[in-house]
Amino acid sequence: MPQDPRLIIVGSIGIDHIETPTEKRTNLLGGSASYACAAASFYSQPGMVGVVGDDFPQEFLELYDSFHVDRTGLQTQSGRTFTWSGVYEENMDNRSTLETVLGVFEHFEPTLPKSYCKAPFVFLGNMHPALQAHVLDQVENPDFVLVDTMDLWINITREDLLSVIGRVTMLTLNESEARLLTDCHHLSDAANALLNMGPEYVLIKKGENGSILFGKNGVYIQPAYPLCPVQDPTGAGDTFAGALMGALTEAGSASDSDIRQAMVEGSVVASFGVEAFSLERLQTLSRQDVTDRVAELRSMMAVEI
Amino acid sequence: MPQDPRLIIVGSIGIDHIETPTEKRTNLLGGSASYACAAASFYSQPGMVGVVGDDFPQEFLELYDSFHVDRTGLQTQSGRTFTWSGVYEENMDNRSTLETVLGVFEHFEPTLPKSYCKAPFVFLGNMHPALQAHVLDQVENPDFVLVDTMDLWINITREDLLSVIGRVTMLTLNESEARLLTDCHHLSDAANALLNMGPEYVLIKKGENGSILFGKNGVYIQPAYPLCPVQDPTGAGDTFAGALMGALTEAGSASDSDIRQAMVEGSVVASFGVEAFSLERLQTLSRQDVTDRVAELRSMMAVEI
């Protein structure tokens, strides 16, 4: 009998159509829950919470199985699966959304399987903050909750978002979102304003420039791995967050040292993820590959050698 | 009798007029040699090589003296001192030049005092690469030469620049300049192409995102100190480079470990420098302030705490 998952991850599950400066790919498995669960699976068997339509390809379900993702919490509903089409600009730094079809995601009401309700680690992927709160309501006293968000929710559901942020251990967002949510230009001012909203940690994502963790005990700077050939940056933040939460779940604790080590892992798994479209690089990745690159990245971060 | 300087620094010396989103300041001491010498002076007494006009204020000469800069190599010529006027955009990331008056810098022919010619450490600040080569020609077998450059020289004096790059230990430039000089989009490809031009190290400056060192023995990632309130980023790269070279000179050697430690120092001194206009913050800075922030930055970079 499978064990109850110690980490649950809720988020979008989507079909992506992606155009980069060099390539155009359609019908890819995407969505924050897909990336985060695949990344987390290198450390712990995550329980996935999400919804797909009855058009969702069987091969994608099998792909989740190949990562040993627990999909008891994955609902299938009549209708279309959430779909996102996007195009990256020349430098890969900016992207535009061409089309979003919400499909069954529009009326998603995540109900947790009973086996998920005592999970100590919870990742609330980017989606409507009321849904994030609804998931959190169903988990009994989690030890560590990470929430992600985006500019859309900051703009249209600020109160719901502030309410969720007040209930989590760590908030993650990117630089411009941190400024948007706080009206502070300077990153450390924005981080302090976010810490005052309730979370113990604020993790600012800076893409190819890594990430910075602000906490009550200080700041930690996590550089990105600089040598990976980026083919598709889609899902990098979710991959980072999924691996981070997986590593914390594997550690079974979340001290400042545990979090820093988990951020190295997140940075490394994300650096592999962007080397190919969708989950294609993670599919061929071994834990040893991750371990080797963690050692390499740590040597790049070490002052004394 | 003063000792011969073990570090010599050549570059521009200018009068700056600077406008930031919050403040407008005129008649500031600027120029790459000013910033780099002041920064280096926390570690070693640098010998300055540069030129000023007969309009150059006596108080600026006294300011150099307060940093114990050896100005035997500073020429005064009849005419105007080099002047730069610039304005920073809202986010401080971009700036526009309003006016440049070359003045006496236009026909600058740096001749080194005899006391400078055996200096083991040399920083060739950003200027015409033929002038950089002319300085280098006058130094007998230096141990470590750092050269800085900019897009202007890449565009109009590429051959001269390539010739200098082939003679130095370390090349420093920013990300876009690295791409411009190599036609490589990916930073690590650009860095490898630059290493193939001759230097042992290529140091890519990324502003508030720190810097990355590429060398034959591997990569080192130096984060910027994230908590300083930036008032004026002018000269940050020169301050970084000056402190780096000062720290190497103080160490008296340039192993990979020495260079990494010197990059922490450079990052910290630069983080102080941007907290005020011109050299105003460096004037009040103590070595203990630097030491304390180095410890703080290193704690922010440490995975194990």
What is the reported pLDDT for B90? 82
Q: What is the mean pLDDT of chain A?
A: 96
B22 touching chain A per CB within 8 A: no
Bridge partners, A75 (sequence order):
A51
β pairing state of B47-53 and B7-10? parallel
Distance CA B178, CA B196 (A): 13
Residue B33 has pLDDT above 70, yes or no: yes
> Is residue A1's pLDDT more than 60?
no
Mean pLDDT of A128-136: 97
- Residue A94 is predicted with a pLDDT of 85
From chain B, the residues in CB contact with A212 under 8 A are: 226
Estimate the crossing angle of helix A187-195 against helix A175-182, to 10 degrees.
Answer: 60
Indicate yes or no: CB of B303 within 8 angstroms of CB of A264: yes
pLDDT at B217 over 70: yes
| Distance to chain A for B282, nearest Cα, Å | 22
For A145-187, how does the pLDDT look when each residue is reduced to its tens digit (9 = 90+)?
A: 999 999 999 999 999 999 999 999 999 999 999 999 999 989 9
Ordered by start, the domain boundaries in chain A are: 7-300
What are the CA-CA distances from residue A63 to residues A68, A234, A278 (Å)?
9, 18, 11
What's the pLDDT tens digit per position in A218-238? 999 999 999 988 999 999 999
pLDDT of B196 > 70? The answer is yes
| A219 chain-B contacts, CB cut-off 8 A | 226-227, 300
Average pLDDT, chain B: 96
Task: Specify the range with the lowest mean pLDDT, choosing from B90-99, B109-118, B228-237.
Answer: B90-99
Tokens linked to B304: 């194990």
Distances (CA, A) of B115 to A105, B73, B167: 75, 9, 22
A300 with B219: Cβ contact below 8 A = yes
CATH topology of domain A7-300: UDP-N-acetylmuramoyl-L-alanine:D-glutamate ligase (3.40.1190)
Task: Dump pLDDT digits (tens) for A11-57.
Answer: 999 999 999 999 999 999 999 999 999 999 999 999 999 999 999 99
Percent residues over pLDDT 70 in chain B: 99
**Which two tokens mark A12?**
């979008």
CB atoms within 10 A of CB B220: 24
| pLDDT for residue B93 | 75
pLDDT at B305: 87
Q: What is the pLDDT of residues B162-173, one digit of tens each?
A: 999 999 999 999
Q: What average pLDDT score do residues B182-194 get?
A: 94
CA distance A169 to A173: 14
DSSP B273-293: HTTSSTTHHHHH--HHHHHHH
pLDDT in tens, B73-93: 999 999 999 999 999 988 787
Q: Is B220 on the interface with A (CB under 8 A)?
A: yes
| Residue B176 sits at the chain A interface (C-beta within 8 Å) | no
pLDDT at B94: 85
Interval A44-99: pLDDT, tens:
999 999 999 999 999 999 999 999 999 999 999 999 999 999 999 887 878 999 99
Dihedrals phi, psi of A129, to nearest 5 degrees = -60, -25
Q: Is the pLDDT of residue B155 over 70?
A: yes
* A227–B212 CB contact, under 8 Å: no
ipTM of the complex: 0.95
Can you give the pLDDT at residue B1?
55
Provide mean pLDDT across the span A131-141. 97
DSSP B224: P
Instruction: Tell which residue, B91, B95, B121, has the closest CA to residue B6.
Output: B121
**Chain B CB contacts of A188 below 8 Å:** 226-227
| Burial group, residue A256, by CB count within 10 angstroms (0-12, 13-18, 19+) | middle
Find the mean pLDDT for residues B231-253: 97
Tell me the fold of B7-301: UDP-N-acetylmuramoyl-L-alanine:D-glutamate ligase (3.40.1190)
Question: pTM of the prediction?
Answer: 0.96
Between CA A60 and CA B113 the distance in angstroms is: 73
Q: Could you read off the pLDDT of A253-265 as tens digits, one per residue?
A: 999 999 999 999 9
Mean pLDDT of B102-119: 95
pLDDT higher than threshold 60 for residue B243: yes
Measured from the Cβ of residue B147, the count of other Cβ atoms closer than 10 Å reads 25
Size of interface A-B (CB pairs under 8 A): 69
Instruction: Give contacts of A 63-92 with B, CB under 8 A.
Output: 91
Closest partner residue to B300 among A186, A220, A299, by Cβ? A220
| Chain A CB contacts of B220 below 8 Å | 300
Which among B86, B80, B84, B94 has a CA at the least distance from the CA of B34?
Answer: B84
